[in-house]
Structure 1
Amino acid sequence: MNINQFECFVSLAQYLNFTKASRVMHITQPAFSRYISNLEDELGIVLFHRNKRSVVLTEAGKVFLEDVKRMLRHLNNGIINAKQVQNRKSQILKIGFIGPFASYFLPKLLDNIRNTHPNIGFIGFKSCNSIGCSSMVFGRRKRICYWSWNDWS
């Protein structure tokens, strides 16, 4: 069994017509018919009643259809989730900070950033002086730098 067979099964269940379902799947009708027949043979279940004029889901086919739809949704969600995790690696927020700011504001800031931007996989930060911090921002090595007016004295 393979995913193509399950997708063809769902398509045929939707259209109840081999020609329409195979066109939607961009598969020739003979190949599409083989996918369905092979699926039924591998499962040992008759999923459709067929004659020259109609295709109808069997009771077993109706039950199987709901499970296959759920399985395909889970598969698609899994692919999306895996891609999001992979993309997080490239989404890094770099923050520079000066002195006392870190102990009070930084934990709150990091929590807020993580809550509002869950796609950021890592937040990097570095302690620096005011000149170093601002040069890192202007040199695009840091996205954000924080300091208080007290840090300038």
Structure 2
Amino acid sequence: MTTSQLECFISLAGTLNYMKTAEQLGLTQPAVSKQIQSLETELNCKLFNRTTRSVILIKAGTAFLTDANTIIDTFYHSKERISNYQQRDLHSLKIGYMDPHTIYLISRILKPLFVSKPNVIPEFTQDQTDANLSRLSNSQLDLIVGMKDAKFKDSNIHFTKLYDEELYCVINKDHILAKELKSHKKKTVTTKDLWEYRQIISVPPYLIRNLFSRRRYIIPVNEEVDNAICANATEAYSLLLANYGYALLAGYEILQHKDLVTFKWEESPHAPFGIYSKSTVLKDKSSMEYEFIQIAAIATVFCTNLFLL
């Protein structure tokens, strides 16, 4: 399948006239006809009903038109982007991450990186750890920011640990527990403190594969109260702001909000948080990946100190 075939098809689907299509594309009518016939042969499907008087786009052609437009748009967008990269000496930095809240940390790392490397264009991929690690192995990603996967082993991939992640208790400031803790001037909570209250449970699938999962429960669950289960931290925050209950969230998921307060959970397990990269990257101190990792080591120090403010 070629772009010439697709352009002829898209134009003919719009004009339903071989002469007009030939004029639009600067081709002869026989050339347009040949492109359409070769496309139908390749697809093993008729796209038009043609008579001496009319051209009709049939059902199969209508169904294919959306795909044809997508393919052509993607091709020319990619072509233009590559051309811009060459002309302006642009460099992409493909970053994978697992949880939307990781973006706030990534933004802190990118800000100083743009100062030293203004021609960097970041591209993001949100997916589970194993899927992103596969992309990194195949050079579809340059870096992955997130929790370490304890089961992943590949000598060509290196994990740079930034800090040990833990879980924090986030509560609405109007919650009875928050008021009680404040009255006692406590900055930490225990499982005993939390046990009788409703929990907003948010455990992303990738956490199950790392060190948090070495216990029977990643987090303590009192099944005698009406807990809510969320698919991600964004859903958990909607319930926190509605004052449904408390949530135990990883440090990188914590957002500063005037209606919420955060306490250190004393019994929290710990797991490494950091950056995956190709092992060869660490040997090239001039690379974007190396500089990103170095900046991240500084940025995460500030971020972890902000959790309990």
TM-score, scaled to structure 2: 0.30
1:93-150 residue CA offsets vs partner (Å, 9 max, x unmatched) = xxxxxxxxxxxxxxx9x937938x96x34xxxxxxxxxxxxxxxxxxxxxxxxxxxxx
**Unmatched 5+ stretches in structure 2:** 91-107, 121-309
1:81-120 equivalent positions in 2, closer than 5 A: 81-89=81-89, 111=111, 114=114, 120=119
Distance in 1 (CA, whole Å) between partners of 2:3 and 2:37 is 14
Counterpart of 2:45, as a letter, is I
Distance in 1 (CA, whole Å) between partners of 2:27 and 2:9 is 13
| 1:17 maps onto 2:42 in alignment | no
2:56 is paired with a residue of what secondary structure? strand
| 1:36 maps onto 2:36 in alignment | yes
Aligned position for 1:65: 65
**Structure 1 residue 88, shift from structure 2 partner:** 3.2
Distance in 2 (CA, whole Å) between partners of 1:71 and 1:31 is 21
Distance in 2 (CA, whole Å) between partners of 1:28 and 1:71 is 24
Counterpart of 1:8, as a letter, is C
Aligned position for 1:99: none
Structure (1/2) with the larger helix percentage:
1
2:27 is paired with a residue of what secondary structure? coil
Distance in 2 (CA, whole Å) between partners of 1:49 and 1:112 is 59
Distance in 2 (CA, whole Å) between partners of 1:17 and 1:113 is 53
**Structure 1 residue 76, shift from structure 2 partner:** 0.9
Runs of 4+ aligned residues of structure 1 deviating over 6 Å after TM superposition are: none
**Structure 1 residue 66, shift from structure 2 partner:** 0.6
Counterpart of 1:26, as a letter, is G
2:46 is paired with a residue of what secondary structure? coil
Distance in 1 (CA, whole Å) between partners of 2:88 and 2:114 is 12
1:51-62 equivalent positions in 2, closer than 5 A: 51-62=51-62
Distance in 2 (CA, whole Å) between partners of 1:80 and 1:113 is 25
1:49 is paired with a residue of what secondary structure? strand
TM-score, scaled to structure 1: 0.59
Distance in 2 (CA, whole Å) between partners of 1:69 and 1:35 is 16
Structure (1/2) with the larger strand percentage:
2
2:53 is paired with a residue of what secondary structure? coil
Distance in 1 (CA, whole Å) between partners of 2:38 and 2:88 is 40
Counterpart of 2:19, as a letter, is T
Aligned position for 1:128: none
Distance in 2 (CA, whole Å) between partners of 1:65 and 1:20 is 18
**Unmatched 5+ stretches in structure 1:** 91-107, 122-153
1:35-61 residue CA offsets vs partner (Å, 9 max, x unmatched) = 111111121110001111111111110
Identity in percent = 37
Distance in 2 (CA, whole Å) between partners of 1:78 and 1:12 is 24
Distance in 1 (CA, whole Å) between partners of 2:111 and 2:43 is 50
Distance in 1 (CA, whole Å) between partners of 2:85 and 2:66 is 29
1:52 is paired with a residue of what secondary structure? coil
Give the aligned length: 104
Distance in 2 (CA, whole Å) between partners of 1:88 and 1:52 is 51
